[in-house]
C-alpha cells in the first residue's frame, strides 16, 4: 500500500486544481502511478506531466528505443510499478524478447544487437553511477547525434525520477501485471 493516498479521482482534488487532473487524464487515459502521488502538489504534477507528454508521446525517439530505456530504468532501480506498466509496452513497440530477458535478469550484453547493447550500457551506467563514461557518451552521440543523445539522456532522467517517486511512496503495481524477477 502506498505511503500516502493515491489521488486517482477528479474529486480527490480541490475544484481549482481539477483542470490539472483533467490534463493528465486526457493524455494518459487515467491518473495512476506517479501522477496519483504527485497530485498532492498539483503544480509539480502538471509540470512533470507536461515534460512526460513530450518524452513519451512526441520525442524523436522510436517507441522501441524509448521503451527499452524505460524498462532498463525500471530494472536498475527495482521499480515494479514502472516495469509492470512498460514491459508490455516494450513488447508492443518491438523490443525483442531476448532484449527484455537481458534487461529483466541484468544479463550480459553479448546477446543483444549492437544498438540494444549501446543503449543498455549507456542506461545502466547512468542508473548505476549517475554518470556515463566518455566512451559510452561518444558512442551514443556518434550513433544518434546531438539531438538523439539529448533525448536519450532526458528520457532516462525522467524515468529515473518517476521510478524514485514510485519507490519512495511505495506504489505497488496493479495485481496481475508483470513483476521484476
- Per-residue pLDDT reduced to its tens digit, 20-58: 999 999 999 999 999 999 999 999 999 999 999 999 999
pLDDT band at 62 (very low <50, low <70, confident <90, very high): very high
- Whole-angstrom distance, CA of residue 132 vs CA of residue 152: 12
The helix-helix angle for 134-168 and 63-76 (nearest 10°) equals 70
Yes or no: say if 160 and 132 are a contact pair by the CB < 8 Å rule: no
What would the pLDDT profile of 134-160 be if each residue is shown by its tens digit?
A: 999 999 999 999 999 999 999 999 999
Q: Give the global pTM.
A: 0.95
CATH code for the structural domain at 63-168: 1.20.1290.10
Q: Where are the domains of the chain?
A: 10-58, 63-168
- Whole-angstrom distance, CA of residue 152 vs CA of residue 50: 17
State yes or no: pLDDT of 1 exceeds 90: no
**90, three cell numbers:** 516494450
Work out the burial of residue 38: count CB atoms within 10 Å of its CB; fewer than 13 is exposed, 13-18 middle, 19 or more buried: buried
**52, three cell numbers:** 512526460
- Whole-angstrom distance, CA of residue 167 vs CA of residue 131: 21
- Whole-angstrom distance, CA of residue 131 vs CA of residue 61: 21
Amino acid at each position: 500500500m502506498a505511503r500516502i493516498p493515491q489521488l486517482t479521482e477528479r474529486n480527490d482534488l480541490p475544484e481549482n486544481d481539477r483542470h490539472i487532473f483533467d490534463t493528465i487524464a486526457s493524455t494518459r487515459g487515467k491518473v495512476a502511478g506517479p501522477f496519483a502521488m504527485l497530485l498532492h502538489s498539483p503544480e509539480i504534477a502538471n509540470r512533470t506531466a507536461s515534460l512526460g507528454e513530450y518524452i513519451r508521446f512526441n520525442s524523436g525517439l522510436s517507441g522501441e528505443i524509448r521503451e527499452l530505456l524505460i524498462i532498463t530504468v525500471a530494472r536498475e532501480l527495482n521499480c515494479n510499478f514502472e516495469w509492470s506498466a512498460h514491459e508490455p509496452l516494450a513488447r508492443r513497440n518491438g523490443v525483442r524478447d531476448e532484449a527484455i530477458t537481458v534487461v529483466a535478469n541484468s544479463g550480459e550484453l553479448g546477446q543483444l544487437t549492437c544498438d540494444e547493447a549501446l543503449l543498455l550500457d549507456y542506461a545502466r551506467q547512468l542508473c548505476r553511477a549517475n554518470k556515463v563514461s566518455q566512451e559510452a557518451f561518444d558512442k551514443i552521440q556518434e550513433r544518434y547525434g546531438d539531438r538523439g543523445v539529448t533525448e536519450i539522456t532526458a528520457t532516462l532522467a525522467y524515468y529515473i525520477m518517476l521510478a524514485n517517486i514510485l519507490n519512495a511512496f511505495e506504489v505497488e503495481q496493479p495485481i496481475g501485471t508483470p513483476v521484476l524477477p
